[in-house]
Structure 1
């Protein structure tokens, strides 16, 4: 995957989702199943992209001697763990596919009766999502706008921090994350979320897929730089 493809990938996902949403608009139940259902075009790729990100993070950890400082491995280890947990949560740790019964005691405290953590309360769902959206805003929208205005390169500064901060070139996924977020809030503000429920659910799920694509593009770009530059460890 070259850098140009990593920038276009979110647009490909958007195009596929939009085409399917328009095609299934007259059949809302089918739309909900194929867009945001457990085996839908949004849910399954989200899991795949999260696991792809885990693979990229593991590759960075394995080749840590090519990083400016080997202690940075802990930063990328956080991404490996977080994306693995994210993928597991999206699939309810396999329950979405194998359909086992949720223990009765746990089902009573889970808002959707599933085997996951993010549905235990509104906080366990909203806090991680808010952190992802904030990261997309600062690292994928505001920083690229500033870099473009100042005519800087795609990386912020030199040295180890330029490896921590995302490239300004991977902005499409971050921008789409916020397009979906604003669309979701507009539906809620106008009390239209129930009228267009399948589309509303698909929009909510799309926030996650584009946020995951933003992290995947970031990790992939770091690996690409490691192979190209091979810096000497500090």
Structure 2
């Protein structure tokens, strides 16, 4: 039963977590600062938990594939996603620094703008630009393509059906875009329009929703194309 409604459950979870994040930032700033913004705070821990969930699910799916029933391309894609999720998880953990407690050393001291043992804080090419590419992919593959195919009544690409997000995951994919929208609106500097919540990091909320989307995408792939094969 839970698996059947997994997309709805995960979307509701994402909405609730983002709402809690915004409301505490607005009405309980001291609580927000003490619990939500630290590297081992609530938001960061939730990001790690959903990444771990996605990684475990991904590995389980790989182990469940049977050569006779599943294409080699699916196996290759799941290897790519597993490696990608593992890398992102390691980066979010600064490869253990925040939990074990070592100081940044060597090259990271000079190149990492937050003195952390990770790569994504050393260059926009390892942080903002890959995220922009990922968000664009989620927008096109998770929102635009499902809507167009639903409207046209047939597939519009030659991509395998198992590769594409399904319509059930569209609300969560759309939320990935919406989560960062206040920051983008602020960047436009429209007179009289500004979302000002001190210390609230919209990018962290977006990352959390992205990681929840990872879980939803993998569960959809499992439900419709692996478990039933």
Question: Shorter-chain-normalised TM-score: which range?
Answer: 0.7 to 0.9
CA distance in 1, matches of 2:37, 2:172: 19
**Pairing 1:43-192 to 2, within 5 Å after superposition:** 43-65=44-66, 67-151=69-153, 156=155, 161-190=160-189
**Pairing 1:209-220 to 2, within 5 Å after superposition:** 209-220=208-219
CA distance in 1, matches of 2:128, 2:178: 18
Q: Once the 2 structures are TM-superposed, how far is the Cα of residue 60 of structure 1 from its aligned partner? A: 2.1
Deviations 1:176-200 (CA, angstroms, capped at 9, x unpaired): 110012222112333957x53412x
Contact 2:90–2:96 (CA<8 Å) still a contact in 1? yes
Residue matched to 2:10: 9
Secondary structure class of the residue paired with 2:161: helix
- Give the TM-score taking structure 1 as reference length: 0.84
Deviations 1:40-65 (CA, angstroms, capped at 9, x unpaired): 33221111111211122212211221
Q: Once the 2 structures are TM-superposed, how far is the Cα of residue 35 of structure 1 from its aligned partner? A: 2.8
Cα pair distance change 1:228/1:82, threshold 3 Å: closer
- Give the TM-score taking structure 2 as reference length: 0.86
Deviates more, 1:48-57 or 1:67-76: 67-76
Could you list the runs of 5+ residues in structure 2 that have no partner in the other structure? none
Q: Once the 2 structures are TM-superposed, how far is the Cα of residue 15 of structure 1 from its aligned partner? A: 1.5
Cα pair distance change 1:147/1:20, threshold 3 Å: same
Instruction: Return the structure number with greater helix share.
Output: 1
The CA RMSD measured in Å over matched residues stands at: 2.6
Cα pair distance change 1:164/1:227, threshold 3 Å: closer
Q: Once the 2 structures are TM-superposed, how far is the Cα of residue 92 of structure 1 from its aligned partner? A: 0.8
